[in-house]
Amino acid sequence: MYNIKVEANFSSAHNLRGYHGKCEDLHGHNWKVEVSVSKRVLDKSGMVMDFKDLKLSLNKILDELDHCYLNKITYFKKVNPTSENIAEYIYKRLKKRIKNISSVTVWENDTSCATYYEP
């Protein structure tokens, strides 16, 4: 099995609904996003896929999240914008464009992250 990973960043604000603590108030993060793609067999070029294509697809999604208030995005009006839900959102959006996505990890700071994957 082969696996590749790319990283990208975006900055945004959010607040958590139904949470009692500091995160219920408006605050922001400089998020780091890691995307992994896996395949059993490499393509004819000897790659899982071109890093450039994966980064381009990821950045299109992150551009929509960058420098915005996540709670105002239609999806997050109903779904709490936790790191877990942001990872799932990015995963499902990417899955429409790229086969073999294995996971999306969203870091909200240097020591805390959430990963979404489907078995």
Active-site residue (options: 24, 27, 67, 118): 67
Q: What are phi and psi of 83, to 5 degrees?
A: -60, -40
Is residue 87 within 8 Å of residue 101, measured between CB atoms? no
Distance of CA 64 to the CA centre of its chain: 12
- Give the integer Cα–Cα distance in Å for 51 and 35: 11
Q: Please provide residue 111's backbone torsions phi and psi, each rounded to the nearest 5 degrees.
A: -120, 0
- Relative to beta strand 27-39, strand 112-116 is unpaired
Is 67 noted as a catalytic residue in this protein?
Answer: yes
Does 29 qualify as catalytic in the annotation? no
Is there a catalytic annotation at residue 14?
Answer: no
Among 23, 24, 64, 118, the active-site one is 23
Catalytic residues, by residue number, are 23, 67, 108
